[in-house]
Amino acid sequence: MKEIFIILVIICLSNSMHAQETYIHCGTIIDVENKKSLEEQTIIVNGEKIIEIKNGYATAPNDTEVINLKNMTVMPGFMDMHVHIEHESRPKTYEEKFRLEDTDVALEATVYCKRTLNAGFTTVRDLGGSGVNVSLRKAINKGFIDGPRIYTAEKSIATTGGHADPTNGVKSELKGNPGPKDGVINSVEDAYKAVRQRYKNGADCIKITATGGVLSVAKDGSGPQFTLEEVQAVVKAAKDYGMTTSAHAHGVEGMQRAIIGGITSIEHGTLMDQETMDLMKKHGTYLVPTISAGKFVAEKAEIPGYFPPIIVPKAIKIGAQIQVTFGEAYKAGVKIAFGTDSGVSAHGDNAKEFVFMVEAGMPEIEAIQSATINAADLLNIKEKLGSLSVGKLADIVAVKGDPLKDISILQNINFVMKNGQVYKMEE
């Protein structure tokens, strides 16, 4: 009797395991690690992970789900390394920070999260928002809302008056004296405290604003705003807590301080010169170009009243340069990870960045690598994401046509799976 019971348990467990399996018949798989296409493959998913990849269209066991992607090109889920998932640029953006409650921001953000996931971006790195970021991450992880996997920097770290000082542009009685708790530092000691506060608040990574910025209500858009010692302190503190770092940077001096200080990635990098590119190669620093944001702000700056007047000249100068600089950095051999700055540009339009990268001289396969294996490397998560490999999470996207011949088709994703769950399936 005991033996029969054991056999029945084994059968039930076996059936349960098969019930969790999904067979995905793929017309073409892009092998991002080896830069090649594989025809007629079957990906077998069990639960959240890929457990096997077979040549040909494997026959599935009875009662096993089969997904037919035979007429599609299949890739790893895309990863955007620079978004602001809480908001989206519009003429009233600067006014709304005084009017919207965190609950308003969170509810709007659920729409942006779903849009991003449906565009094929299953993972994002949010580089500057609020505690809403952390709540969104939790809600997505628990399955309460649909959205990409979020790695958040929570509040960006700035210097007094610098890009990401939350009181820039407000009247005197509202300026106050924000400090490390608010993400504003002015010393090495402040730097440690600000990083530790971000960790306490639930951040996964750290962002500093190493130079002035385009969209802050301040005159300077490129000058350095952190000392080398402050950058080094941020990086050391972040490493203590197991976090990677990023630096918003447009101008050369601020960029170079960030690179020498050990920052993991430079965001934008608009005005970098050859010496800066050489430094990035020496230190292994990634560039996250955000061409989409540059094009967006340059276009909107031509519309009277869209931005406050102090921002317009910065948007025209910086915005027009980002794509050119990206092309030069790519040709120089700087490591590239995909990033759009969505939130400045529209959420869901993330794949336009692929087109802009290819326009600037990057081959299609390398543009796809930048949003998959390179992005996973930047986040230190290559062991679980970034390629279609056995043992990795089943983040899978598919599109009709061949993006290696026409990268623009990635703007119309037909299939999205994240963690083994299908979120989008269009014939």
The answer to whether the CB of 291 falls within 8 A of the CB of 350 is no
CATH 2.30.40.10 fits 2-76+387-425, yes or no: yes
Q: What is the pLDDT of residues 1-39, one digit of tens each?
A: 455 444 444 444 444 444 489 999 999 999 999 999 999
pLDDT at residue 9, as a whole number: 43
Across 404-408, average pLDDT: 98
pLDDT at residue 6, as a whole number: 46
408: which 2 tokens?
């623009």
- Please say if the pLDDT value at position 204 is more than 60: yes
Q: What is the pLDDT of residues 245-265, one digit of tens each?
A: 999 999 999 999 999 999 999
Q: What is the pLDDT of residues 289-338, one digit of tens each?
A: 999 999 988 888 888 988 888 888 888 888 889 999 999 999 999 999 99
pLDDT at residue 3, as a whole number: 53
Q: For the chain, give every domain's residue range.
A: 2-76+387-425, 78-378
Angle at 296 between CA 102 and CA 77, to 5 degrees: 70
244: which 2 tokens?
């990677």
pLDDT at residue 83, as a whole number: 98
Alpha carbon distance 388, 395 (integer Å): 8
The answer to whether the CB of 394 falls within 8 A of the CB of 45 is yes
Q: What is the pLDDT of residues 226-247, one digit of tens each?
A: 999 999 999 999 999 999 999 9
The position carrying tokens 């915005």 is 319
At the topology level, CATH places domain 78-378 in TIM Barrel (3.20.20)
